[in-house]
Structure 1
Amino acid sequence: MLDQVVAVLRRRLGSENVIVFCSQHEEVPAWEQLLKTAGVSSALVLAFDGPQLSPLLAHPSHREAGELVAARHALLGTLARRSPLAEMADDFDPARRAVLLVTDPLDPREVGDRHLFGAKHPSWSFVEHKSVVDTVWDVMGVDRAESVALDRPGTLLRPDGLAPTGIVASWQRLGEAPVAGGSGIRTTLTEIDDGRFRVRIMPHLTGRPCRLHGLTSADTTVVFPPLELLVPQRREGGSFLCAGAAPLSAPEQAPLTALTRRLGDQLRACLAYRGGFSVDGILTPDGFRPTDLNTRVTSALESLPATVRVAVHACALAARAGLINLPGSTLGRYVAHAFRETGELLIRAPFPDNDRVAREPVRWFGSTLISAGRTEPHGVIEVGPGARGAILTARLRHADLPEGLDCQAASIAVFEAADRLLGATYGPLKAPGGADPQQANQHRRR
C-alpha cells in the first residue's frame, strides 16, 4: 500500500525540495522515509511538538483545540516576515522554492512565498459551521434531526419547552471559526460567557455518538472504519468531555460504511470536495443522524501507528492537490487493519493540573480501575506535557476489559480513577445517552 502512496507523491513532488509541518514529533521519521522513497530532492520535516517548533509557541496552559490551531496558524504566518521560523526555513531553502506540506487540522492562509501543496478551498471550511451544515445535509438528502439556528436566545427559548428529550446547543461566537472539539457544545442555554453568538439547537437524540470518516479525491472515496466517539457528559453543566474513539462492531459497521461512501461521493459532487473528512452524529434506533462535518483528517487516527497516520495525511494532501489514482480501497483496508491490530483502548483528555507528571499502572476490579500495585497491570494512566497543556492518557488492553463493559463506561472509569488516584477534578460523569426513543421520535426529521 505504501508503494502506491509513494507513486502518487512522486508524480508531483519528485526532485522537489519539501518542507513538512506535522502535528506530532513521532511522525517525523515516517515522513522522512516516505519522502525519501518518493524521490524528493531534500526534505525538512518539522513537528509542532518537536524540539525546533515547540520553543516558538507560547507555553500551553489548558488551551482549547481551536486556540491551539490558531496559535499554530499564527506561527506559520511568520514565514512571511523576518522571524525564527523564516530563518529556519531559509537555512534549508535559501531560494524559497521548496514546496510546503501542512497536515490537517491546519489550514493556513499565510505562509510566505513558498508554494503550499494541497491548500484547501475556503468553502470547504465554511460548511463546517454548525449554523450552515444542516443545509448541506438537506441538499444531499441525508436524514437528520430537526434543528434551528438563531442568535443567542437568552430567555427567548426555555430548554424544557423545546423538546421532552432535552436539547443540545452548539455555540459559536459571531465572526469566528467553528469551535473545535466539544468545548462549544452544551445541554443548557445558560452557561456561556457574555458575547455575541450564533446557536444551533436540536433535540438531545437517543443513541450512540459516532464518527463516519474517510477521504475523497477527484475520482474515488476511501472509507475508514466507523467509530464510536467517547464523549462522557458532565453531570453538572451538561458539557461533554471528548476522550477518544473506538471502532464499532463488525455488524454495526456494514451499513455505516455504505453511508460513509455515499457521504464522501456527495461531498465531491456537491462541493467538489477533496481530502479527509468526517461526519459526526448519533446512531439512533432509526438510523444515523449527522450533526457535524469536519473537512479534514481528524484526531480519531491518533491510536494508530505513525506510519499509518502519515500515509493518510499524505493521501489527503495529494487528493486536495487534485491528484488521482490514489490507493482507494487499499488505503481503507490498510487503516481498518491498523485499527484491528491496535489491541488497546486509547483515552485522552486535558488534565486539570498543568504542572503534573504522573504514571499509574492500573487493573480492573469489577468495573472499577484500581492501582495495580505489585500485580499485573491491565493498562496505564499517565499525565504529562502536551500541546494543549497537561494531558491525561490512558491505554487499556482490549483483552482485559471486563465482560459487558462498553467503551463509554470504560472511559468514565478512567476519569473516576484519575480523580481518585491522581487528584484530578473531572467530577461526576455519565454516558452521553438521550431520552426515551418514543419521545425522540416526536422530534425526528425525515
Structure 2
Amino acid sequence: MEHVYSALNERLSTVFGDQRVVLAGGTRLPKRVQELHSLGVKQPLVLSTEDHAPLYDPEVARWVSLGIAGSLVSVEHRRLEEVLTAPSPELRAVLDDYDPTGDGLVISTPYVAVPEFAGRPVLNYRRPEWVALENKTTIDALWAELSVPHAPAVVVGMDEDALWQASTLLDRGAGVVWSGDGPSINGGANFVRRVRDREEAAGAFAVLAPKCDQVRVMPFLEGIPVSVHGVVFPDGTAVLRPIEMVVPRRAGSARFLYAGCASYYDPPAAIRDEMRNLARRVGEQLRGSVGYRGTFTLDGIATEDGFLPTEVNTRYGGAMVCFEDALPQLPLALVQVALVAGHDVGVSSMDFEDTLLAAADARRSGAVAANVRAIRPSAAVERPVVFAEWSCRWAHAEETPDAVLRLKPAPIGGRLELDLDPDVLPPGRPVAPLAVAAFALADQEWGTGFGPLEPAVPVGEETGHAVVLEAVQAAGIA
C-alpha cells in the first residue's frame, strides 16, 4: 500500500504543486485545502457557496463566501454554474488579485459541466457526452448493449394517463417507481416516487410535471438500495466495494427519504461479485465509447433475484466519503480531478483497486444525514445515543454510546446527522434500520417532523422490525 500512496502523492504534486488553485464550490472544503497544501499549493482560493466563511488561517487558504447555498442540490448547482459562466465584476476582481496571470487551475463540484471559469480551465468539468449517460430514462440502452439482467421499464412523456397505464402494466403487486429526468438534477430522490394507486399517481404527477421532461416507470423492487463505484483509468477500471444507500420509506406515503450512505452492509457474496463484475464491464464500456475517466456509480437493488441495476451516475459520487474516511491519507477527490483532466496518476487501476478495497473492507464508515424542514434550529445540538432492540434512546452518562445524533442549522431549515461508531457497530447488517430508529427519537425529542419511516428489507428478511432487531443484536447492543 505504501508504494501506492507515495506514487499517487508524487504524481499529484506535479499536477497541483506550486500552482494557483481555485476551489469553486463543493463539500469537505477544509479537507480539500489540507490535501492541496500537502501537495505544495501554498494558498488556494476557496469560493464557498455558503453565506459565511469559517475561521481559517488566511496564510493557508483565502476564503470567499458566495452566499448561493440552495435548499436543493439542483438549486445550488444551477446558481454555481451561473457564477462560473458569468462571474460578477467583484468576483473577477478577487480572481485577478489572486491569480493575476490567469494561469490558475479550477476545481469545482462533481456536477459542473462548465469547461472554464474566467478563462481558467475547470479541471474536473463533465463533458456533455458523459452527462448524457446519467439520464435515468435512457439507461436501458446501456443494459441492452451489455446484456445485463434488469427489471423491465418504460419511458413516458409527461402524460398522466399514459404514465398510469404503464404503471398498471408493470406493477408486480407492490406498486411501481416513477423517476423523472430533465432538465433539473435528480439527486437525493427528489424526483422519485412510489406509485401504488391512482391517487398516488396524481400526486406524483403534480410534483414531477413542472420539473421533468419524461419519467421512467419500473416495478418497485424489494431489497436494499446499493451502489458500487468504479474508477476508470487509462489501463482499466478499478472497482470498489458495495455501499448501502440509506433510503427509508415514508410510511403511508409515495415519497422516499434520502439519508446518505454507509459501508457497514455486506450483501450476500454472490450479489457482491455480481455488482463488481457488472461495474467493471460498465467502466470498460464508458472508457471505450466516450473516453470516460474517473469515478462513476452503478446503483441498483440487492433483491432475492440478485442485483438489479437501476442507473449509472457519471461523476464522483457522494458515497466516496466512505472511501475517503477509510483512507484519510489518500486525496481521493484530487485523484478524481487528475484523472478527469487526463493526467497519469502514477499507479495502475489494479493497484488502486486493491488498496481501496482492502482499506474500505477493513474500516467501515457512513455519512447518514437528512434535511429537516419542520424546524429551523438556531444552534447545533448533539447527544450520544444507544440502540436497544429496534429503538434508539439517549445514552446514560456511564454508557459507551453507539452513535451521536446531531441537529444543526442548514439553508433548508436544519440538518440531522447520525455519526455511527465503527468500533461499536460491526460490519454486516444494513444501517437504514438504525437510522429509522434514531430519526424517530429526533422526531420525539426535537420535533424534526420526519414522521413514521420504514427501512428497506434485506434479501431473505420478512419484516422491517426483524431487520432492526437483527441489526442491533448483530452489533451486540440489544
* Same fold (TM > 0.5): yes
Partner of 1:35: 39
Query: Structure 1: 5+ residue runs without aligned partners?
Result: 438-446
Inter-partner Cα distance in structure 1 for 2:186 and 2:65: 26
Inter-partner Cα distance in structure 1 for 2:286 and 2:427: 40
- Preserved CA contact (<8 Å) 1:301 1:309: no
- Preserved CA contact (<8 Å) 1:15 1:41: yes
In the TM superposition, what is the alpha-carbon distance from 1:185 to its structure 2 partner? 0.4
Inter-partner Cα distance in structure 1 for 2:76 and 2:213: 21
Query: Structure 2: 5+ residue runs without aligned partners?
Result: 55-61, 196-200, 462-478
Partner of 2:414: 390
- Preserved CA contact (<8 Å) 1:35 1:43: no
Partner of 2:389: 366
Partner of 1:236: 252
Instruction: Specify the code of the residue in structure 2 equivalent to 1:305.
Output: D
TM-score (norm 1): 0.85
Q: Would you say how many aligned residue pairs link Structure 1 and Structure 2?
A: 428
Instruction: Specify the code of the residue in structure 2 equivalent to 1:67.
Output: V
In the TM superposition, what is the alpha-carbon distance from 1:399 to its structure 2 partner? 5.0
Inter-partner Cα distance in structure 1 for 2:238 and 2:411: 30
Q: What CA deviation, in whole Å up to 9, does each residue of 1:186-217 have, x standing for no partner?
A: 01232233536311101112322110112102
1:282–1:86 Cα change, 3 Å: same
Structure 1 residues 338-347 or 208-217, which shifts more?
A: 338-347
> Does the alignment pair 1:3 with 2:6?
yes
> Does the alignment pair 1:324 with 2:349?
no
1:170–1:23 Cα change, 3 Å: same
2:160 is paired with a residue whose SS is coil
Pairwise mapping of residues 335-350 of structure 1 onto structure 2 (< 5 A)?
A: 335-340=356-361, 342=363, 344-350=365-371
> Does the alignment pair 1:71 with 2:79?
yes
Partner of 1:444: none
- Preserved CA contact (<8 Å) 2:47 2:65: no
- Preserved CA contact (<8 Å) 2:403 2:420: yes
Partner of 1:271: 290
1:385–1:89 Cα change, 3 Å: farther
Partner of 1:249: 266
Pairwise mapping of residues 170-319 of structure 1 onto structure 2 (< 5 A)?
A: 170-173=179-182, 176-188=183-195, 189-191=201-203, 192-193=206-207, 194-195=209-210, 197-247=213-263, 248-249=265-266, 251=269, 252-303=271-322, 304-305=324-325, 308=328, 311-319=331-339
Inter-partner Cα distance in structure 1 for 2:432 and 2:369: 13
Inter-partner Cα distance in structure 2 for 1:393 and 1:369: 14
> Does the alignment pair 1:152 with 2:158?
yes
In the TM superposition, what is the alpha-carbon distance from 1:313 to its structure 2 partner? 1.6
Instruction: Specify the code of the residue in structure 2 equivalent to 1:199.
Output: V
1:118–1:350 Cα change, 3 Å: closer
2:135 is paired with a residue whose SS is coil
Structure 1 residues 190-199 or 261-270, which shifts more?
A: 190-199
2:89 is paired with a residue whose SS is coil
Inter-partner Cα distance in structure 1 for 2:33 and 2:124: 21
> Does the alignment pair 1:57 with 2:67?
yes
Instruction: Specify the code of the residue in structure 2 equivalent to 1:295.
Output: T
1:433–1:238 Cα change, 3 Å: farther
TM-score (norm 2): 0.80
Structure 1 residues 415-424 or 330-339, which shifts more?
A: 330-339
In the TM superposition, what is the alpha-carbon distance from 1:109 to its structure 2 partner? 4.9
1:145 is paired with a residue whose SS is coil
Inter-partner Cα distance in structure 2 for 1:99 and 1:182: 33
The one of the two structures with greater contact order (alpha-carbon pairs below 8 A, sep at least 6) is 1
> Does the alignment pair 1:98 with 2:104?
yes
Instruction: Specify the code of the residue in structure 1 equivalent to 2:67.
Output: L
Instruction: Specify the code of the residue in structure 2 equivalent to 1:155.
Output: D
> Does the alignment pair 1:44 with 2:45?
yes
Inter-partner Cα distance in structure 2 for 1:48 and 1:24: 12
| RMSD, aligned CA | 3.1
Partner of 1:354: 376
Inter-partner Cα distance in structure 2 for 1:97 and 1:205: 50
Inter-partner Cα distance in structure 2 for 1:382 and 1:291: 32
Pairwise mapping of residues 80-119 of structure 1 onto structure 2 (< 5 A)?
A: 81-83=88-90, 85-109=91-115, 111-119=117-125
Instruction: Specify the code of the residue in structure 2 equivalent to 1:354.
Output: R
